């Protein structure tokens, strides 16, 4: 089963609104990463947050991590039509936890309408 | 320009006809990985490589082979493709496991 589960599966908002996506996972992690994918294209890395960090910012993106709840959230502020894409969280459970690999969730499809 | 390239980008083939999807990166990354993406299932890792001549299975390795003879290349081999291997395939590389991954543009494979 997937390590990361995103919620909601789909989200539709108006341009200018904020979009929040959540990710829950099951085991201890070394870090958690968020990626973006435009339809049918390769994934693009957005943010990496380590297990000892609680919050991280990059431009209009804000990521939080709560290791006690095994969850993370991605907030996109002042959304634009160009933010329309699928967003994935990926967990790195480290050598002992995950066997040297990233495990991806099934993604949140975000649609930003004009 | 730093990038991961994959070839071919699109491929339609028939059951049982051996094929290779190439992957190359120009960033001197040690870690490389192959994923397949299917609707509703997200990305699942097929194989990964920590360095030259070091490869290991991911979550869905059955029906696939890989090799890592050079640091920059990590080809994916389907010895006898079957229709259930119809999917969108991505190669990725990173400095190490605990770093951001750079993805190729994807290869859409259809096996008839």
Contact call for A104 and B44, based on CB within 8 A? yes
Q: Residue A42 and residue B41: Cβ atoms within 8 Å?
A: no
* pLDDT reading at A97 higher than 80: no
Q: State pLDDT tens for residues A22-52.
A: 999 998 899 999 999 998 788 999 999 999 9
Residue B29 has pLDDT above 90, yes or no: yes
- Identify the pLDDT of residue A99: 54
Q: For position A103, what pLDDT does the model report?
A: 87
| Stretch B14-29: mean pLDDT | 97
- From residue A98, give the alpha-carbon distance in Å to each of B12, B47, B70: 34, 14, 26
Q: What per-residue confidence (pLDDT) applies to A96? A: 56
Which residues of chain A neighbour B2 with C-beta distances below 8 Å?
A: none
Task: State whether A43 and B50 contact (CB < 8 Å).
Answer: no
Rg of chain B over Cα atoms, rounded to whole angstroms, equals 13
Distance between CA atoms of residues A111 and B112, nearest Å: 33
List all residues 6 or more positions away from A96 whose beta carbon is below 8 Å from its beta carbon. Answer: none
A43 touches chain B (CB under 8 A): yes
Q: How far apart are CA A21 and CA A85, in angstroms?
A: 12
Q: Identify the CA nearest to B6 among candidates B110, B111, B103, B112.
A: B103
Segment A98-102 shows an average pLDDT of 65
């Amino acid at each position: 089963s997937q390590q990361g589960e995103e919620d909601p599966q789909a989200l539709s908002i108006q341009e200018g609104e904020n979009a929040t996506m959540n990710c829950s996972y099951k085991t201890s992690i070394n870090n958690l990463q968020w990626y973006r994918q435009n339809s049918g294209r390769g994934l693009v890395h957005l943010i990496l947050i380590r297990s000892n960090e609680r919050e991280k910012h990059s431009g209009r993106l804000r990521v939080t991590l709560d290791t006690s709840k095994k969850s993370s959230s991605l907030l996109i502020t002042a959304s634009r039509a160009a933010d329309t894409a699928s967003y994935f969280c990926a967990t790195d459970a480290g050598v002992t936890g995950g066997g040297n690999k990233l495990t991806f969730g099934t993604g949140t499809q975000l649609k930003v309408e004009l | 320009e730093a990038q991961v390239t994959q070839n071919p980008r699109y491929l339609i083939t028939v059951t049982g006809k051996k094929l290779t999807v190439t992957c190359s990166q120009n960033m001197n990354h040690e870690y490389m990985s192959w994923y397949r993406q299917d609707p509703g299932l997200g990305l699942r890792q097929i194989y990964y490589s920590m360095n030259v001549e070091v490869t290991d299975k991911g979550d869905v390795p059955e029906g696939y082979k890989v090799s890592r003879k050079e640091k920059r290349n990590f080809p994916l081999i389907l010895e006898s493709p079957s229709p259930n291997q119809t999917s969108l395939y991505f190669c990725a590389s990173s400095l190490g496991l605990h770093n951001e991954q750079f993805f190729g543009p994807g290869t859409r494979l259809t096996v008839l």
